[in-house]
Structures are given as C-alpha cells and as structure tokens.
Chains A and B, each alone.
Chain A
C-alpha cells in the first residue's frame, strides 16, 4: 500500500506540489436540481398554455424559458470545459484541528469566464478512507477570468490519524440560473499525513518532568557555560582572564585556560509498545481505541517534553517504523509526529525486545495500550492512564 500511495503521490506532486506532471482525466456530469425540475414543469405548463391559447407573448415566454434552459446548459458546460484545479495544501494535518486546503483554480479558456465554482474532494474509495475527508466543506470561487488563476481555500478537520488519500476533485457550478448543475470530476490524487492529537499534560506530570524525576541534566561533550570541569587548553586571544588556570601556570611556559562543560538537556526515550496483538487487548476495551490512545499519549508526552527542553527519542515496538534518536527541535518533533501518523495498526505485530538506552541519564518511558508492564524501563504508562496523564477536555 505504501508503494502505491507513493506512486500516486509522485504523480500528483506529493499531494502538495504542482510542479510534476499529473494524470489528467476529466469526467463530466449534468445534474438537474430541484429548482430545475420546477422550472421544467413551469415551462411545460406554459408550453401547453401557449399551444392551446392563442397568445403570442406566451409563445415568446415559452421560447425564452426553453432558451434559458439551453443557454444555462451551454454556459455551465463551456465554462467548466477549460477549468483545471490543483491542490496546493496540505502536506500535514492534525486530528481535530482545522486544516486549510488550498486549490489553484485556473481557467485556461481564452474568452470565457467561469463563475460560481464549487470545489470539493470527491469521496472515492473505501468508506474508511472517505470518512476522514467527509467533513471538508467545499471551496468556493466567485469568478475566474479567462487565462487567470485564483486560489480558493476551505477548511477541513480530520477526525482520524493516518494517511488520507485524495483521489478526485469535483468542480461544479450551477451558474447562470441554478437549474442544472454541471460537474467535472478531475483526477487529482494525493495524500495527507494526519498527525495524532497532542494534548497538554496534566500539571503534576509536567512538574514531575521539570523537577528532574524524569531523568536529569547530562554533561555535554562540548565546552560551554556550565559549572563542571571539562578540560584545560592553551590560551587564545579573547579568552577571559578569569578562566586562566593559575595553578597550572607555574609548570608551563604559556597561559592555559580551564574550560567548563555545557549543561546538556534532559533526555527522554519513549518506547511505544505495540507488540501486543489486538486480539489480546480486546478484554480491556476496543483494541484500536486503546492503541490510538497510546499513540496520543506518546505524541502529547513528546510535544510537552520538548517544549520543556527535553531531548526526546522514539522507538516503536511491534511495528515497522524508523527508530528516532534522542534529539530536540521543531524538525525532530515533526519527524516524530510523522512517524506516529504513519503507523499502520493493521500490520501484523512482531516480537522484539526493548532496547535500553545506552547513554546515561536518559529516562526511558514505555507507553503501551494494554496494562503497564514492569521491568523494561523506569516508567511505564498504559492507555488506561490517558485521563490521568493528559488534560482531556470533557464536554460540559
């Protein structure tokens, strides 16, 4: 599946890019609206009246009504014939957060303008895939002139973590009279990685992290502004005189400087333990929910810890996922969230051992969907502790 998604995303420019060649297939549909049906009924009635009652103005009105139907179909049909759409955003989204999807709408016609365009993602594929994009409201464009492109946008709030695959975009317009709706289905494949939600940790958990119970300071391997001794080196112009190693000075011909070590941030290695097969979790609840809760716990813990200055690493046990070293920074957090987002819980679980952090003063936390195990790491959190760890907003 990953391969096919990658292939699709390559064709569509990775779901966000507009630069790569794309497969353009268009399908057209006409859909008559309720107002159109009523209009047709009125037209037929007036036609009957014109046929039975000799009234030339009535005949003219009947002709005008017919003409309006024809013109309506022609205008909306020609209008959409040269309209192309590119999806610009998003690369990523977060569960429960509104994400802006932008479309570049281009009218390649030389003379005709396009009016009142409605653009929305078309639900193609399995129900599960469609469900997550069901909430996206359409993007609207009032007008695109000839040889002109505009950017339309809409908001979409994903409800589920994981890869969301876009396949088609539906461009519709009922301009000019709202009788007929002309639809164009444009193949526009792409995918979005939906990151898990990150909820804030409860205050006491944060306090525990900040008070050092979750690991401690580490000495860095480079000199800095700390207090611990790092080493002695020869004096260089610009060094502070306060750092001169006066005791060493006696035996040397030149000045020496005492270097201090820098304080390394606290380190946190999170292990997401998904080795337990879902069947065995069933006694504790819905396995998928438990696992998703564990993922949310990991995401929340990682984000909060990084915001508190921790270096965080991630290892996913039981599923195929890259192991992320203990690092800090925005890009590292994005990578971590991306790894969590890409976890495919439908995969078969495999048995593997927890790798204990080799570096000293790195706190290892294991988060698992089932009951918290003991012995493999200092801290073990289970999905059942979700509400105790996280500040979950309960509806009033």
Chain B
C-alpha cells in the first residue's frame, strides 16, 4: 500500500500518542478518555463513509473557546510552573480540533508541531516509564510522519496529472530509510544523553522523576494533598535473616526508616529536618559481602543481631531503608554512604556509583546497649540536647487534657525529670505510651486515606484541626499528632517516614513492600542514645486496607516493576556523579587495556630480540624491517585489489593473462582521464564509438586513445599478447594523454558543430 495513502492514519496515531503521553504526565485518565476519544472519533467523521469536515464557523468558534479556556486556565492559577501544563492542554485541544479539518501537508506539519509541544510539555512534568515508552514510540512515529509530510508536499506541488513519479519498491525503501533515520537520531540522542554536562552539586536540584513517586516522602507536608498513594507497585522486598541465615517472619509489622524529622514549621505546616542538625559520617563499603561497621570505633554487638536484605524494585532514592539501630552495612560493591549519627538514617553518596543502589544488606541490633550506641554516635558520645518546645500552643492544652483524661500511673514529675535523666526516660516512656493509646484506641480518631473532606483553614494548624475537629486522617496525621503532643509536654519525640513491611510472601520467605505501604510513625527517646518506635496509627486498619487492595494483578506486576527499576535506576537517575564515575571507569578500563597491549608487545619484542641474540641497536633494524614489511604488504594489497577491480570491470576471467589485465587497465585509465576532463563514456557505448563522438580537435589525444583502444582489442580479442616494450610505450601514451587532457580546454571540431 502506498504510504501516502496511509498518512492520515499515521498522523492520527501520532496525535493519539502525544495526547496519551501528555495525559500520563498529567496523571489524568479522564482527560485522555475525552481528548483521545474525540481524536479517534475524528477518523470516523472525516474519513468515514460520510467524510464530513467541520464547518469553518464552528471551527473558528471552537478555536476561540479553546483560547478563552486556556486564558482562563492560566489566570485562574498563574503559576509559572503550571504554564507549560496550560500550554500543553491548549496544544492538545488545538490538535484535536485540527483533526476535524480538511488537511493538506501544511496542516499535517502543524499537527506534528502541536504534538511535539504536547510531548515536550509532558517531559517537563514526569519521567515515568510509561511516559518514556510513549515518548519513544512517539519519536519513531514522528520521524515517519515528518518524512511523509515531505513526500506529501511533493505530491501536492506536482502539476503533472497522476502525480509525481515514484520508483519501484517505494514503500519498503521508505520504511527502511525511516528506520535507519530513527536509529541514527536515537543513537545521537544516546550519545548526547551520556555526554551532556550535568552538575556535580549533590545539594542541587533533584532530577525530575528521580523524586520517588512511591509514597515515601522525606518531608511531611500536612497542608497539601487529599489522597495518599495507594499504588500496589512493589518498591522493595526485604528479608530478615538470623545468625544461621534463616529467613524470619515477625508477628508485628516491621518499620523501615527513611527520613527522620524533628522540627515542625507552623507557617508552612511542614515537618522537616532541623537545619544544621545533621551530623554525618562517611562509610565506604568494600566490594565483598562483609559487613562494614557504622560505628566509630567498630564494636562487637552483645545482643542478638539480624541481617536485613533489601532488593530495590522500583524506587529511585539514595535513602537506605533500614530498621532502627543499624550497626553495619554491605552492598556487594564499593559504595559510599553517609550515616547520620543522630537520626541513624543512611544515605548513599553518589561518589563512586554508576547506577543507583539496588541491593544492600544492613545489620540490625534491635535492642542495643549503650556500648553499641555510644560508638554509633561518635567517639565522644555527647548526649543529644533536649528538643525545643512544640511551637503550637494549643497542642500542649490538648496533650495535657489527654494526659489528664488517661491519668497514667507512676508518672514522674517534670521537675524530677529535668534533673534526673533516668526519671526523664521513664517520664518519656509513660507519656508517649499514654498518648499513643489515647490516639489509637478508644475510637476517638479514624484512619482514612481519603482526605477530600478534611477542611483545612489557614488560621488553624492542621494538627489542631485533626485533634480538635476533624478527627480522621492518615498515618502522617496520627504520627504528627503524637510527635506534637509529646514535644509539647517536653518528651523527646520525632517523626519518622519510611515503609511498613507487613505483607509476607511465604513462597519467597520475604516481605513485599509496596508504594501503598509508605508510612509515618514516631520515635521517642527512652535513653541517652536509645530511641524507641511508636506507631499511633491503628495497625489493624492498615492491614485491612492492604488486604482490600490486594488483587491478582499483583502477581504480574513484577514484569513492569523490573523494567521500571532499570528505567529509574539507570536512566532517570543518571546524573553528574554517575557520569563522572562512568568516565573514570571507562578511562581506567581503556588505559588498562592499552597498557596491557603495549606491555604485551614489548614483552614479545624483547623475547624475539633476545632469542635472536641481537644487541640493543638491533631494535632499530627490526623496527625498520617491520615498517618496510608493513608498507610492502599494504602496497601488495592495493595492487591486488586494483587488479581485481580491473578484472571485474573489464569482465576478465580470474585466470586472465597479465597482459590482458594490463591492457584493460590502460584503457580504463584512459577513459578515466577523459572522464576527469569532462567527457564520460556512457556504459553502453563502445570505446571506439565514444572516441568517434568526441568533438575534440586535439589530434594527439585522439590518436593516443585510439592506440590504447587498439591495443586492448588486439590483446583481448585477437589473442595477440602485448610485449613489455609495447606496454611501456602504451604507458607513455597514457601519460601523454593525461597531460594533454589536464592542460586546458580542448578545441571543438567543426564537424561536431
């Protein structure tokens, strides 16, 4: 089928791909159903049996409406970051409208441009695998459509009845050219992708898409977002191994820590890490599987320890998710980590990595003693100062009311706790447990993932709203409330985010952690260096919700997740560190290989000279001989190649005598000389006829050429071999012919005129 006839379909496919990619970037399936459906409908309307096109007045009206809607869309929320979304939506509706018009090549080119705007707009918002797949397919299709547009321009420009001419096998050759062009462009794109300069600033902007869209957040914002992530995508799998290497299943869900926040910003309703609170230690692990201790100096744990094996499945993050009190780490390859000695959060440093961390093992001591914890904090082991009071006054009133309501027994007074650390830890434990119970039990607060009915007001803190009025929320509200309540009454508490591992897979004897398992909880200090986790979120609600979301698709998610992991870890998170590391590795590998080659050559050379008992000066001679041999070999190769080419061109058999080949060579070179002078012999024309048709008055040139032609005919067809003298004379003729042809313009004969 002629590709130009199928062009409408290809343009429609391209538009649909662009619309789908844009809707994926906007995470709006409704928009895709509407815009994609309208685009698909255009095929039936315009190309269907009735073949109708949109009237001009309706087209103009709809276009005005689109412009007005886009302007309203922009002025409704004039956010510079959202400008490209507005532009993308504008381009999308214009493209849909254009599909209903009469289309010429120019219109198809405009549709191509609009679809490109859509895709670029989407690129600025997301780096999802699905979007990337759509983008890749779009690029392949766009190359093809761009080619078809050019061919359509040709067809529309031609004034010949029946259209312009096309050769044989046009569709197949166009397809091949399109593929080659796509491969070439994508190849260049890959090279540019690898070599494009990227910043090495570790505190710089995070890569778009590298921000984990996986439920886990490093800062908790209580004022935005109605619904938390309920995706069933696997983030990681985790296995706990005892000393014997047996996989363990715990009776309680396990908490994998990712980020620890102790500061609440009431202005932005956000939990964050206290500025300047980070005190990190760099730990570099070796390439073997041995555990590298996180403490300084290394200590031998006294209580029971476990090994926590983590396999990342989809998340792109430099955070190491580990249970509380990690004491050692291993990654199977050389990696560097930053260990925060105050929060025990481990992050990977991108100093020597090519790809993101995908597997690691952390040694956990669940119940460490001071001998283990003090070296983790550092050699001096200074006590952490108490946290400041919570900045929202209303919280303290609520906390005191809750404590009064619960009335915990044996609560040490605040004055005693202030002077006696032991009393302080007891007080911390009792208050935190009491408030946890108050929040979790008794049905005062309900767990939900949908906060669309949670009314937030600017003049009321969300935690106060949760505790006073709304009384429903998800884990971030429960954890925030408990942390705030504890801090308001002087208990050292901090908010922790990460994952809760509660889905045990008996077939693989490991926990499966999904995006919806992202969780927030609280840690309370119960000793000088000892923090204990508390989870105020009703666990049964979490488990019930997780069970409700389970489906048969979970069994097949791994296919997508595996590709997604590769995409996220190798492509999306390719940054300046990876680039520098890759360059170092390549340089090292290259220098190793080159050095090995040089060394091998030198060894062989030495063994050869020593074997021949040659002196040091002989090296020069051997080198000269090698160069001469190489030059001779090259000359022989060129000569044989030239002879073979002459045989092929003259149609001579393989066993043709050397004289035949020499005569053919002379004739071919003579014809080449004429061709260089501007007179090309057509392939069909015999040499004699060609010579007769030359309108050149240079008698010498004609005579020399005729002599060479005669020689060839005689040698080739009359069986009369050419002697050495004759060949030498013919070479002189050829030389003279070349000189006369290259000396300047030749005169024209009157007969030819």
A residues contacting B by CB (< 8 A) are 3, 6-7, 10-11, 19-25, 35, 46, 49-51, 53-64, 66-68, 70-71, 74-75, 107, 113, 115-118, 137-145, 148, 150-155, 174-178
Contacts and interface: CB of A to CB of B under 8 A. Distances in A.
A154 B160 contact: yes
Interface centre among A22, A61, A117, A152 (most CB of B within 10 A): A61
B657 interface: no
Given A61-B120, A113-B173, A142-B165, A56 B209 contact: yes
Contacts of B159: 137, 154-155
Contacts of A6: 753
A113 B694 CA distance: 33
Nearest to A22: B680
B205 A56 contact: no
A66 B188 CA distance: 7
B296 interface: no
Contact of A64 (B139, B151, B205): B139
29 contacts: A10-B748, A21-B678, A21-B679, A21-B682, A22-B680, A24-B678, A53-B208, A54-B207, A55-B123, A56-B207, A57-B131, A58-B208, A59-B196, A60-B189, A62-B196, A63-B191, A66-B192, A68-B143, A116-B151, A117-B154, A118-B154, A139-B164, A140-B155, A140-B157, A140-B158, A140-B160, A141-B154, A176-B146, A176-B147
Contacts of A75: 177, 181
Given A53-B124, A56-B574, A61-B120, A115 B185 contact: no
Contacts, number: 209
Interface in B143-202: 143, 146-147, 149-151, 153-155, 157-160, 163-170, 173-174, 176-178, 181, 184-193, 196-199
Contacts of B204: 54
A53 B205 contact: yes
Given A61-B120, A137-B159, 14 more contacts: A25-B678, A49-B124, A59-B198, A67-B187, A67-B188, A115-B150, A115-B151, A116-B153, A139-B160, A140-B158, A141-B154, A145-B173, A152-B160, A155-B159
Nearest to A76: B150
Contacts of A35: 109
A63 to B, nearest CB: 3
A152 B165 contact: yes
A62 B192 contact: yes
Nearest to B678: A23
A101 to B, nearest CB: 11
A21 B173 CA distance: 32
B452 to A, nearest CB: 31
Given A54-B207, A56-B571, A75-B181, A63 B189 contact: yes
B193 A68 contact: no
A58 B124 contact: yes
B189 A67 contact: yes
- Which one of A22, A60, A139 has the highest number of Cβ atoms from chain B below 10 Å of its Cβ? A60
Contact of B150 (A51, A56, A67, A177): A177
A10 B695 CA distance: 8
Contact of A63 (B192, B208, B678): B192
Contacts of A66: 188-189, 192
B114 interface: no
A175 B710 CA distance: 47
B690 to A, nearest CB: 7
A3 B750 CA distance: 9
A394 B741 CA distance: 58
B192 A56 contact: no
A55 B680 contact: no
B166 A142 contact: yes
A75 B151 CA distance: 15
A369 B697 CA distance: 43
Contact of B153 (A20, A113, A154, A178): A178
Central interface residue in A6, A71, A155, by most chain B CB within 10 Å: A71
A107 B170 CA distance: 14
Interface of B: 109, 119-120, 123-124, 127, 131-132, 135, 139, 143, 146-147, 149-151, 153-155, 157-160, 163-170, 173-174, 176-178, 181, 184-193, 196-199, 204-209, 571-575, 674, 678-682, 685, 690, 693-695, 748, 752-753
A229 to B, nearest CB: 51
Contact of A19 (B123, B169, B685): B685
Contacts of B143: 68, 176-177
A151 B174 contact: no
A28 to B, nearest CB: 18
A129 B198 CA distance: 59
Contacts of A178: 109, 146, 149-150, 153
A21 B154 CA distance: 31
A138 to B, nearest CB: 7
A137 B160 CA distance: 10
B157 A56 contact: no
B150 A145 contact: no
Contact of B177 (A11, A113, A148): A113
Contacts of B176: 113
Nearest to B196: A59
3 closest residue pairs by CB, A with B: A67-B188, A63-B192, A63-B189
Given A142-B165, A178-B150, A54 B208 contact: yes
B154 A140 contact: yes
A22 to B, nearest CB: 7
A57 B158 CA distance: 40
A276 B574 CA distance: 88
Contacts of B187: 67
| B158, B190, B204, B685 interface centre (most CB from chain A within 10 Å) | B158
A150 B119 CA distance: 39
A23 B151 contact: no
B150 A176 contact: yes
Contacts of B147: 115, 175-177
Nearest to B682: A19
Contact of B167 (A22, A53, A144): A144
A238 B146 CA distance: 79
A91 B267 CA distance: 89
A55 B127 contact: yes
B124 A55 contact: yes
B109 to A, nearest CB: 7
B135 A115 contact: no
Contacts of B177: 75, 113, 115, 176
Contacts of A116: 150-151, 153-154
B465 to A, nearest CB: 36
Contacts of B127: 55-57
Nearest to B165: A150
Contacts of A58: 123-124, 208
Nearest to B119: A61
Nearest to A7: B748
A141 B192 contact: no
A39 B173 CA distance: 26
A10 B748 CA distance: 10
Contact of A71 (B120, B188, B695): B188
A300 B127 CA distance: 77
Contacts of A152: 160, 164-165
Nearest to B188: A67
A57 B184 contact: no
A181 B486 CA distance: 73
A56 B205 CA distance: 12
B694 A21 contact: yes
A177 B116 CA distance: 14
Nearest to A58: B123
B678 A51 contact: no
A20 B176 CA distance: 36
Which residue among B170, B196, B693 has the maximum number of chain A CB atoms within 10 Å of its CB? B196
Contact of B190 (A63, A71, A145, A153): A63
Contacts of B170: 142-143, 145
A75 B205 CA distance: 39
A10 B678 contact: no
A10 B131 CA distance: 63
Given A21-B679, A177-B150, A71 B165 contact: no
